[in-house]
Structure 1
Amino acid sequence: MLTHGHGDHARVGMGRYHTSAAGLPILQWRLGEQEYHVHEYGEVFTLGDTRVSLHPAGHVLGSAQVRIEAGGEVWVVSGDYKRQADPTCAPFEVVRCDTFITEATFGLPIYRWPSTREVAHDIAQWREHCAARGETAILYCYALGKAQRVLAELQPFVDRPVLLHGAIAAGVEVYRGAGIALADTLPVIDPEGKAVRKTTDFAGELVIAPPSAAGSAWLRRFRHAQHGFASGWMRLRGNRRRRNMDRGFVVSDHADWPGLLQTIRETGARRVIATHGDTEALVRVLNESGVAAETLRTQYGEDD
């Protein structure tokens, strides 16, 4: 039962995969051809004596919460989710339940997100600042979800194509194939392996690349560049310094602290199980407010 296509939630070798219809193109891109069982949001299907349905999580394209009903109890597994508006995926749907298993990637009060539209405007202004200095603006984003969301939000603020690393371009085409409107883009390197322009011609351009490209030989083509990172982790300046970034842009595909508390309250859950991230503070606050809460440890963490 897959909530979305990120690598800590979707892995090969599982046999059969249940997914949302919107998430199928993502899984085909990330996992290849597998035995997929595809469900529309809200469609109820049975597994043994259990009634199951998938509901929008607002995390990335095709992301889903899993509603499980059995023995007179309703459990909801949130997967990763956010409450901010996102033009690239269906918005989060509140699903009432008895037990709510919630992520807590950013489960500390310091994590509160600014308007993504305002951040996109800041990114565009940063690009103009770099252009005035004869520099390239290189923005690091995760290849699934974050890069596409940034490109969607940039549309009102850019007047020329954004250049893409190959790992970003692949996911962008998947989103475009799903009908998601994004800013115009061009590859830094064309499919035949040739650079689309001379090294000196990258000045003033905005380039989106995955975090793995930072410090790699791929960057040598950009003689003068500033480096920025788009992530919820940029809420803390120390994270930007540790990554040696010139700029940090706070954009997250996870719920912030107010979003976590709002969601838990709206589900009406009597019991909450927190996982993935900073669970301790969230569990303590919930227990103090009269909600039975505990932590579930998992093997994998989460990038953002």
Structure 2
Amino acid sequence: MDIKEIRSLAKDRMKGVCNLCSECNGIYCSGQVPGMGGTGSGRAMKRSYEKISQVKLNLKTIHEAKKPETNIMIFNQNLSLPLISAPVTGSEINMGGYLSEADYCKAVVSGSKMADTFAMIGDSGNPQFYIDGLNAITEENGCGIAIIKPRENNKIIENIKKAEIANALAVGVDIDGAGLVTMALLGQPVGPKSKAELKEIISSTNLPVILKGIMTVEEALLAVEIGAKAIVVSNHGGRILDDTLAPIEVLPEIAKAVKGKITIMADGSVRSGRDIFKYIAAGADIVLCARPIIWGAIGGGSEGVASYINHLKNELIQAMILTGANNIGEINSDMISYNFDI
């Protein structure tokens, strides 16, 4: 499908919840939670966009990188590019209601697989949304990752067992969701996790466990210590705490501390293949993407998701050609410049 067509259809179907602005900078949707915006003033979401936009690519054209390879391996899976569809729930609540939760999950999981990568499915105040995501993973023979809210440990472990039955590739806890008031209002309380609680979660399964919402070197080192297989450097899209730093600001120091010891994922305002490149250059092993995936699903179902991912892949290839990277492993910090302290 054509990206312009996907975006046009998505804009109509999202009924003003998302304006699909030419610059998806968090201004139009500021404060719209539920909805597509950042919490409170929206400054955290806007900062994530501003900071990733300030990172620039160093143009180089005297080299041999003519046909870059974008594939990577993660969790024994070969992906066509270092991108995973981020866990997003609440299609009927946050995205205008064009798709049911089950249809949204199916579009994202199957569309990601069509593009030779995979999706994360999420958890929410409505427990059925998690089941809808797991059903989509089951239909695609386990091609997906289940991310669970920081509920009480017995509830998390119960949901991990459900993910095991679905043959999910991995599981995770978005520990940055600890302050979600909407969960408590719906009778699904969440909260911070102690080191001991996280160890109990990790020891409860043979699946790789991901901790999503790491924004400090201290907690990245702790994740390594307790045996997590991956972290996601993320501020939850700026949707949980106003005035946080942007993921790209803290990523380089985190990567300096734990690169090679744990898989480093990152997300936050990924809108293009160039943004994927920037995060990889700043130290991530793989990048999560949400907004473009949402647009793809609502504008074109699974085909729309696959088309948008392939569009991002083509932009990534162009960035690699014009910076001199033959493969993802060759992308490094010398290929980017920025005018803020990170």
> Higher RCO, 1 or 2 (CA under 8 Å, sep at least 6)?
2
The higher radius of gyration belongs to 1
Relative to total residues, which structure has the larger strand share, 1 or 2?
1
Q: Please give the TM-score of this superposition, normalised by the length of structure 1.
A: 0.31
